Amino acid sequence: MSRLLHLLARTRFISRIGWTKVTKPAAVARVLSAARETVSAAAQVQSAASELATQSLTVKREVDSFLSDIQAA
């Protein structure tokens, strides 16, 4: 883990004011925290997309069934 922190400390990241050299452990911790939040948000988006796909298939089946019933009448 210290090697990862060392590598992160030597890299640059975009802050609100532009490119900044990461030199403090607190800055590295903020980058890691932001990465964790990004992963969490991505998982939530993926879950929501999966749920929407399932719901859209259900709606499609119901509409197809409804249209078939109308055609048969």
Q: Directed axis angle between helix 25-72 and helix 2-10, to 10°?
A: 90
Write the pLDDT tens digit of every residue in 22-67.
Answer: 556 777 788 888 888 888 899 999 999 999 999 999 999 999 999 9
Residues in the chain: 73
| Spatial separation of the C-alpha atoms in residues 29 and 35, rounded to whole Å | 10
The residue extents of the domains of the chain are 2-72
Cite the beta strand spans of the chain per DSSP E: 12-15, 18-21
CA 62 to chain centroid, in Å, comes to: 31
Whole-structure pTM over 0.75, yes or no? no
Examine the pLDDT at 19 and tell me if it is beyond 70.
no
